[in-house]
Amino acid sequence: MTKEERFGLILKELKASGKVSFEAVASQLQVSEDTARRDIDALSKNGLLVKVRGGAMAPSANPLLFQDREELFSDAKKVIALKALQQLAGCRTVFMDGGTTMLAVAASLPADTRLRVITHNMALVPVLGAHPGVELIVLGGQYDRATQTNLGVQTCLEAARYQADLYLMGVCSADPAAGITAAVAADGEVKKAVLASSLKTLALVNHEKLNTVDFFRVCELAAIDGLITELPSDDPRLDGYRAGGVELV
Amino acid sequence: MTKEERFGLILKELKASGKVSFEAVASQLQVSEDTARRDIDALSKNGLLVKVRGGAMAPSANPLLFQDREELFSDAKKVIALKALQQLAGCRTVFMDGGTTMLAVAASLPADTRLRVITHNMALVPVLGAHPGVELIVLGGQYDRATQTNLGVQTCLEAARYQADLYLMGVCSADPAAGITAAVAADGEVKKAVLASSLKTLALVNHEKLNTVDFFRVCELAAIDGLITELPSDDPRLDGYRAGGVELV
DNA sequence: AGCAAATTTGCAAAACTTTGCAAAAATCTT
DNA sequence: AAGATTTTTGCAAAGTTTTGCAAATTTGCT
């Protein structure tokens, strides 16, 4: 039984049942558990399966393993969320923007947080509504299915009624020269309105969105107070942003 | 049974029924309740579900309605919902009130319906937001966890901006003499505002709420155009209401 | 406010992984 | 073909993670 033969059999089993255990591979292929472990290790290095405690699973078996990892809460989003949480200290009222990054922030809010949150992001309602320390204020408007946010003139007018200590802005595109830009005009308008109602604004930006431009101008970089990315603050990719905005670790 | 396998099964169950309890997970997956709790904790940290007391719910569902669907959609509610649907014919814009009866209406809306719905009921957002024929307009305000609705002055002001063909009012208490009354002042105020913005108002009332009175006066019976209950329209319990409002089968 | 149930926290035992090492097998060199 | 070299294999010790239990705390309800 060569290594390659074993690889084939392991993958076949994985395809059939979605999972394999070191123990089962060892006994079925008549090798020690260590060898089974090493085989599965090699396959995982090639991305053909995902190692888990006790064995391995097909990447598609569960959203945590592969598929939605990028769409839902990627490591980058978690890092950004944690950085954003640190900036919440001392804030009483916070505007939270649309986007799944903001969902990551809301989901990782500690249980003992006391905060007033204003948002037009309907995805946050079940999460923040269940949080005992959060007073949630919803901005109404026309519900946009694609982004799960309320948009439109109503939303902007409502945003103008409130005054927040901090605005956590979810950013579509950021560029040192063009500033913050949005792909949807209605979304950009809401961002402008909220920006005007907040003492301080921090933009949450995935590094992939750095140095990209969309058609709707939200604001200059100078209009925001800080940029939160998953990169360390001394990363060269952030060089162009150091002038106006403050970078955060 | 690895952790990841359990994750997959928990998510599968969540998808099927919309909710999972620690107890059920523990017994079905043959682990202690502590492990079930920790698993669900991990999934919630990744935004794949929302933890609530006793278990967890799908993120798009309503964290506070952690009950059985049968309980939620009692036969009475289903009957009322179907009657209300019939009244929707010809309507272009409808205000939908708070309450689980309204959730039953939203859930039973046929797929080919074309409708503009205005609501402050956050429980409807996941349901109506997914409906391709519904244009959803959300009324903002201060989110009330107990009722899952937005309340307050903002909500009333926003309601006044719109004009609807029909208002489906969810009723707490109805009485021939006292009219419609509410248990929460803020809720009653919103009802009054919406009532003023609608051409026609139908009150949806469970028969258990007939002939009961609460402290906040919403309106006289004469101010509404019809009463929808699960009772047949010639039921003697409705006798006192025939004067001003129209009863519907 | 007070009771009962649910939840969080700390802990130690058990299960699983990693790491380093040496023997066996396969491959290469001359 | 014999010896040297590399790869693979199995083993055991050290290190991590997971798990169930029990105490302490919080929460929801009346």
Any strand D atom closer than 7 Å to A110 CB? no
Closest-CA distance of chain A to residue B81, Å: 23
Q: Is residue A61 pLDDT above 80, yes or no?
A: no
A101 within 8 A of A81, measured Cβ to Cβ: yes
How far CA B116 is from CA of A75, A215, B136, B138, in Å, comes to 39, 30, 6, 11
Predicted local distance difference test score (pLDDT) of residue B243:
67
Predicted local distance difference test score (pLDDT) of residue B121:
93
Interchain contact, A63 vs B11, CB within 8 Å? yes
Q: What is the DSSP letter of A121?
A: B
Any strand D atom closer than 7 Å to A32 CB? yes
Q: What is d(CA A141, CA A107) in angstroms, rounded to the nearest whole number? A: 24
Pairing between β-strand B179-182 and β-strand B173-175 as defined by DSSP bridges: antiparallel
Mean pLDDT, to the nearest integer, of A173-182? 93
Sign for the pseudo-dihedral over CA of A178, A180, A184, A187: negative
Q: For A205-242, what is each residue's pLDDT tens digit?
A: 988 899 999 999 999 998 999 999 988 888 888 888 87
Measured in angstroms, what separates residue A118's CA from nucleotide C15's C1'?
Answer: 46
Residue of B nearest to A152 (CA): B137
Any strand D atom closer than 7 Å to B66 CB? no
Give the three-class secondary structure for A143: strand
Q: CA B229: distance to chain centroid?
A: 16
Q: Is residue A9 pLDDT above 80, yes or no?
A: yes
Predicted local distance difference test score (pLDDT) of residue A68:
38
Q: Which two tokens stand for residue A142?
A: 């026309």
Angle at B41 (CA atoms; ends B36, B47), nearest 5 degrees: 130
Q: What is the mean pLDDT of chain A?
A: 88
Residues of chain B under the 50 pLDDT cut: 63-70
Q: For A65-118, what is each residue's pLDDT tens digit?
A: 654 344 456 678 888 888 898 899 889 999 999 998 898 898 888 877 889 999
Interchain contact, A120 vs B140, CB within 8 Å? yes
Q: Indicate the burial class of A5 (C-beta count within 10 angstroms; 0-12, 13-18, 19 or more).
A: exposed
Any strand D atom closer than 7 Å to A113 CB? no
- Rg of chain A over Cα atoms, rounded to whole angstroms, equals 23
Predicted local distance difference test score (pLDDT) of residue B70:
45
Nucleotide with smallest C1' distance to residue B51 CA: C7
- Interchain CB contact of A138 with B (< 8 Å): yes
Interchain contact, A145 vs B158, CB within 8 Å? no
- Give the domains, in start order, of chain B with CATH numbers: 3-57 (1.10.10.10), 71-248 (3.40.50.10470)
Closest-CA distance of chain A to residue B211, Å: 33
Q: What is the DSSP letter of A237?
A: G
Interchain contact, B5 vs A21, CB within 8 Å? no
Q: Is residue A135 pLDDT above 60, yes or no?
A: yes
Predicted local distance difference test score (pLDDT) of residue B166:
97
* pLDDT band of A147, cuts 50, 70, 90: very high
Predicted local distance difference test score (pLDDT) of residue B45:
81
- Interchain CB contact of B154 with A (< 8 Å): yes
CA end-to-end distance (rounded Å), chain B = 54
Closest-CA distance of chain B to residue A90, Å: 22
Predicted local distance difference test score (pLDDT) of residue A72:
57
Residue B98: CB atoms within 10 A of its CB come to: 26
* pLDDT band of A244, cuts 50, 70, 90: low
Predicted local distance difference test score (pLDDT) of residue A238:
85
Q: CA nearest A138: which of A147, A146, A126, B91?
A: A126
Phi, psi (deg, nearest 5) at residue B98:
-80, 175
Nucleotide with smallest C1' distance to residue B55 CA: C6
Predicted local distance difference test score (pLDDT) of residue B64:
43
Q: What is the DSSP letter of B199?
A: E
Q: Indicate the burial class of B196 (C-beta count within 10 angstroms; 0-12, 13-18, 19 or more).
A: middle
